[in-house]
Structure 1
Amino acid sequence: MLPINSRYGCSVAKCFLLWSLVPFINAKGDDGESHTKMHNADKPPSESHLDLRDVVFIIQSQRNSFHVRQAEKLRKDLLLQIQALEESPPVIHLLHTLSDNGGDWSILPLLPYLSSQFGKNSSWIMFLEEDTRVKLQKLHQVLRTIDCRKEWFLGKPLHDEESTIIHHYAFSENPTAFKYPDFSAGWALSIPLVNRLASKIEQEPLKSDFTIDLKHEVALYIWEDGKGPRLTAVPELCTLPERSPVAQHCATTVNSHSPQCGQPIKSENLFVAVKTCKKFHSERVPVVKKTWGKQATLLEYYSDYADPSIPTINLGVPNTERGHCGKTFAILRRFLSSAVPKTDWLLIVDDDTLISLPRLQALLSCYESSEAVCLGERYGYGLGQGGYSYITGGGGMVFSREAVVQLLASGCKCYSNDAPDDMVLGMCLNALRVPVTHSPLFHQARPEDYAKEFLAHQTPVSFHKHWNIEPIEVFNKWLKDKNTDGLQKGTKEEL
């Protein structure tokens, strides 16, 4: 087992939980099925009669108003294409409307419902993200070539270049062996597979565990240690930009631009709180000051020691090796006090978080500060057993003022100073029925911990940890823009 590096101190270090709870998985093979092999398979006599109404589309929507609008736009576009094709309309559902279970975003708990509703009269469940763009006629042509009476798991494959903490160091002997889907390209399950998985879930309830990288964990569950189907690569499922001249063959594309809904919010309307501690004042704080800290108008460093040379503020909460719940709640209280300027937005980060504030300001133009908004990279705990979602702290936690007001008014508090702050906040938000809003642009880990093709169609907002990297170089490569508006994507690989 790999050691926990001491550099993880003074941040929300849930890695110790992951290492203790999740066994290593090792494999030497398991290449994904090829599209060529799929087309060479025996084809059913009725394949040419597959109607689009035999496909159920699930848009992986969220409860936040901005994301509801995005999902509705996608649904409307699908219906307009159907009308033009003069086809019978398929079933299109927004995921967040299917039940009151906030954990439905983790997909697996939803499969019994999908099986009961569509397991007899449909052929495919096609999952789409809000930013996925679909050419229905092309998608129809692809699905007609596949025997939907068999178990199929379709998508655009990703793989790890090296074993990574976000995948619990799975397949450490051969990280490239296991393929999992890039959800941005869309992915599909045949109904026979949905029905079998649903029966399995009903007979063997899902374990109460962490949901960290959903696409990898769904693929692992379906693969079932080699007993289930592998991901089949479908070249027509793409993450090329929608208007790319080389996307003619694609049935799906992706909007690769970072969302912006008007003018970015002003830097004076974003208060930034950096959590640190004395032992990292000379190591991590200088990195913040040399990189993204220069982009902030309102920023304070919170520590267990008041150092006027930085300066840092001692909130009266002793430092803890992990969790930092006491410190985070003290920050929330300070944000609502007269001690700091009044702003609509609060960003809480660790001292080893790397972030682009201009990109964040552009992203926040899409959200209503009058709503209770909690934004970042969403994780889950015990979602198969009625658990809760939370924003993982290392990638940055963004709160609207209204969200902070509701959190503190609820009386929710830490059960100890070293409790995991992000998870406690998730429990509080779950009790308040305030949705946790996910953005894939926030990252709990380093760029090296993510598949290259996954990052290639992103404009990332944040990464986390200084472990085995040069943090200033990482910031300059991934998060520093050539201009000052946060929209230049010069660091990105152009697909």
Structure 2
Amino acid sequence: MTRYNAVNVCKLVAALLLWLGGDTHTNRAQVAAAADQQQTGRSSVGLEEVVLVIQSQRNSFHARRGAQRKEEILQQAADLREGVPVVLLLHQLSEYDGDWSILPVIPLLAAAYSQSASWFVFLEEETSVVLPVLLQVLLRYQVQQVQQEWFLGKALHDREASIIHHYAFSEDPGSFSYPDPAAGWALSSPLLQRLAERIQHEQLKSDFTIDLKHELALYIWEEGNGPKLTAVTEFCTERKNNCATTFTSYLPYCGDPVPKKDVFVAVKTCQKFHSERVPVVKATWEKDAAFLEYYSDVEDASVPSVSLGVANTLRGHCGKTFAILRRFLSRAAPTADWILIVDDDTLISLSRLRRLLRCYDPEEAVVLGERYGYSLLHRGYSYTTGGAGMVLSHVAVSRLLASSCRCYTDDAPDDMVLGRCFTSLGVPITHSPLFHQARPCDYSETLQQAVSFHKHWNVDPLVVYRDWLQDSHPPDEL
């Protein structure tokens, strides 16, 4: 493991000062502290001891963004001339799509890099990193105790007990912190090695992966036997002085929104909700759709609703969803590049969705939404959760219906069956944090951007739509 002298550390910090455009008293103190640490024989951290994992996805748009981020990091390292970090794209680490849940790749990372790396840093595709600041952060924790297990990041907390976190820490929701993935997070090598051993010998308590950041933090904490997240001020999302990371946006600009006519909207409902939930859709986002149909268990001219000959079920709705997809490919529905399938208690911003869809190729098999996972540590499958809204390209629907994959019962969970089918077809499930299976109050206090929310329970859906999803100045309509 490389050890740098004080001169090298000062060169790195000098590069940092040039990067930030200033030489404050605080920065000079950091230089002095770094030099003192080297002179007293404590460890340093070189770029070649850092493994950066960009949490990229297989979809072509995300793969390009991940590759661009990797190139930017390597170019920054070349400009510094202080070693080259290992930069990995998550979707390339193996052929398994479930690697996005991180735990399956930790043994791979440990086997390949634990002997040469001191730190493993995980970044989103849209997270920028300032390498000199990052090195100073990692050095600060490494010198305290070289073999200590560290879990670093920007801390998030629940405002109240949340269903997406299974109401963990319900008596004091703010007592447990978990990392903001947009700011990046880091594991020390001793911690990653121990996690790799645990993963290979322990069963997870749940087969489902719902909110990755919270579940990772719980797994690492290990009911108090492992480290809690250490909050690090230099792990940032907004731009400010002395940040090791900053974040752009989960809603990138890829050009003008796709035209309204390119998105066909299917709303799943049933007779008992025609007077309760359908009016909310009509009062909020229905007007923003060019093509929209309500699918129910009865024909109702007041909605109007379409019956597909599938009886209503209390749960699952797989039979209804497959009937919707068959109709989408038939002459009964307008031809469109995309289909959005939502529940009647889903709130959505179609204008933001159309902007997001500009980033994706409609000629590609795309399945987009909020990604959940089932049994991912044991080669399971991912799926887009239905309440948040499921977006499928025409190509993806065609591939699905041309296969032999079908519902095993009409009340099977439609989102999970679709996920299993697309996994078997080699079609990746593409995740966007803009889609939400629950209500705004079920997420951390930093929630800002959204395309969708779900559920009317204990909230006023009209207020939720107005405060979270209604654009004051929508883009030009096409």
TM-score (norm 1): 0.87
Q: What letter matches 2:124 in structure 1?
A: E
Which of 336, 343, 361 is residue 350 of structure 1 equivalent to? Answer: 343
Q: What letter matches 1:222 in structure 2?
A: I
Task: Please list, as runs of the form range in 1=range in 2, the aligned pairs for 1:354-433 lying within 5 A after superposition.
Answer: 354-433=347-426
Percent identity over paired residues = 61
Which of 111, 114, 118 is residue 116 of structure 1 equivalent to? Answer: 111
Cα distance, 1:258 vs structure 2 = 1.6
User: Are the equivalent residues in 2 in contact too, given 1:206–1:385 (CA < 8 A)?
Assistant: no
Cα distance, 1:263 vs structure 2 = 1.5
Name the residue aligned to 2:82: 87
Name the residue aligned to 1:154: 152
Q: Tell me the SS of whatever aligns to 1:339.
A: coil
Name the residue aligned to 2:461: 471
* C-alpha distance in structure 1 between counterparts of 2:110 and 2:259, whole Å: 47
Name the residue aligned to 2:223: 225
Which of 160, 163, 173 is residue 161 of structure 2 equivalent to? Answer: 163
* C-alpha distance in structure 2 between counterparts of 1:189 and 1:335, whole Å: 46
Task: Please list, as runs of the form range in 1=range in 2, the aligned pairs for 1:18-33 lying within 5 A after superposition.
Answer: none
Name the residue aligned to 2:435: 442
Which of 254, 258, 262 is residue 251 of structure 2 equivalent to? Answer: 258
* C-alpha distance in structure 2 between counterparts of 1:345 and 1:260, whole Å: 19
* C-alpha distance in structure 2 between counterparts of 1:43 and 1:409, whole Å: 64
User: Are the equivalent residues in 2 in contact too, given 1:306–1:314 (CA < 8 A)?
Assistant: yes
Q: What letter matches 1:209 in structure 2?
A: D
* C-alpha distance in structure 2 between counterparts of 1:52 and 1:259, whole Å: 29
Name the residue aligned to 1:273: 266
Name the residue aligned to 1:16: none
Name the residue aligned to 2:302: 309
* C-alpha distance in structure 1 between counterparts of 2:154 and 2:344, whole Å: 35
Q: Which moved more, 1:258-267 or 1:399-408?
A: 258-267
Q: Tell me the SS of whatever aligns to 2:313.
A: coil
Name the residue aligned to 2:102: 107
* C-alpha distance in structure 1 between counterparts of 2:37 and 2:424, whole Å: 50
Q: What letter matches 2:269 in structure 1?
A: T
Query: Within the alignment, does 1:190 sit opposite 2:180 as a pair?
Result: no
Name the residue aligned to 2:171: 173
User: Are the equivalent residues in 2 in contact too, given 1:156–1:237 (CA < 8 A)?
Assistant: yes
Cα distance, 1:208 vs structure 2 = 5.8
* C-alpha distance in structure 2 between counterparts of 1:319 and 1:212, whole Å: 27
Would you say how many aligned residue pairs link Structure 1 and Structure 2?
A: 439
Query: Within the alignment, does 1:68 sit opposite 2:63 as a pair?
Result: yes
Cα distance, 1:452 vs structure 2 = 1.2
Summarize the Cα distance change of 1:432–1:208 in structure 2 as closer, same or farther, 3 Å threshold: farther
Summarize the Cα distance change of 1:68–1:143 in structure 2 as closer, same or farther, 3 Å threshold: same
Cα distance, 1:484 vs structure 2 = 1.6
Q: Tell me the SS of whatever aligns to 2:246.
A: strand
User: Are the equivalent residues in 2 in contact too, given 1:273–1:347 (CA < 8 A)?
Assistant: yes
Q: Which moved more, 1:204-213 or 1:126-135?
A: 204-213
* C-alpha distance in structure 1 between counterparts of 2:206 and 2:214, whole Å: 17
Name the residue aligned to 1:129: 124
* C-alpha distance in structure 2 between counterparts of 1:389 and 1:451, whole Å: 23
Cα distance, 1:47 vs structure 2 = 4.7
Name the residue aligned to 2:15: none
Rg larger for: 2
Q: Tell me the SS of whatever aligns to 2:141.
A: coil
Residue segments in structure 2 that go unaligned for 5+ positions in a row: 1-32
Cα distance, 1:101 vs structure 2 = 1.2
* C-alpha distance in structure 2 between counterparts of 1:176 and 1:144, whole Å: 29
Q: What letter matches 1:472 in structure 2?
A: L
* C-alpha distance in structure 1 between counterparts of 2:243 and 2:474, whole Å: 34
Cα distance, 1:393 vs structure 2 = 0.4
User: Are the equivalent residues in 1 in contact too, given 2:157–2:173 (CA < 8 A)?
Assistant: yes
Q: CA RMSD in A?
A: 1.6
Q: What letter matches 2:292 in structure 1?
A: L
* C-alpha distance in structure 2 between counterparts of 1:425 and 1:176, whole Å: 36
Q: What letter matches 1:415 in structure 2?
A: Y
* C-alpha distance in structure 2 between counterparts of 1:256 and 1:390, whole Å: 23
Cα distance, 1:256 vs structure 2 = 2.9
Which of 201, 210, 213 is residue 211 of structure 2 equivalent to? Answer: 213
Cα distance, 1:120 vs structure 2 = 0.9
Which gives a bigger RCO, structure 1 or 2 (Cα 8 Å, sep 6+)?
A: 1
Name the residue aligned to 1:460: 450
User: Are the equivalent residues in 2 in contact too, given 1:47–1:146 (CA < 8 A)?
Assistant: no
Task: Please list, as runs of the form range in 1=range in 2, the aligned pairs for 1:322-333 lying within 5 A after superposition.
Answer: 322-333=315-326
Task: Please list, as runs of the form range in 1=range in 2, the aligned pairs for 1:280-299 lying within 5 A after superposition.
Answer: 280-299=273-292
TM-score (norm 2): 0.90
**Which whole-Å deviations, capped at 9, do the CAs of 1:318-340 have from their partners, x for residues lacking one?**
00011000000000000000001
* C-alpha distance in structure 1 between counterparts of 2:42 and 2:332, whole Å: 68
* C-alpha distance in structure 1 between counterparts of 2:395 and 2:213, whole Å: 32
* C-alpha distance in structure 2 between counterparts of 1:145 and 1:220, whole Å: 25
**Which whole-Å deviations, capped at 9, do the CAs of 1:257-297 have from their partners, x for residues lacking one?**
62121121000110000000000000100000000111001
Q: What letter matches 2:288 in structure 1?
A: Q
User: Are the equivalent residues in 2 in contact too, given 1:273–1:300 (CA < 8 A)?
Assistant: yes
Q: What letter matches 1:122 in structure 2?
A: A
* C-alpha distance in structure 1 between counterparts of 2:404 and 2:196, whole Å: 39
User: Are the equivalent residues in 1 in contact too, given 2:369–2:388 (CA < 8 A)?
Assistant: yes
* C-alpha distance in structure 2 between counterparts of 1:436 and 1:55, whole Å: 29
Name the residue aligned to 1:199: 197
User: Are the equivalent residues in 2 in contact too, given 1:180–1:215 (CA < 8 A)?
Assistant: yes
Name the residue aligned to 1:485: 475
Summarize the Cα distance change of 1:89–1:434 in structure 2 as closer, same or farther, 3 Å threshold: same
Task: Please list, as runs of the form range in 1=range in 2, the aligned pairs for 1:21-60 lying within 5 A after superposition.
Answer: 47=42, 49-60=44-55
**Which whole-Å deviations, capped at 9, do the CAs of 1:303-332 have from their partners, x for residues lacking one?**
001100110000100000110000000000
Q: Tell me the SS of whatever aligns to 1:145.
A: helix
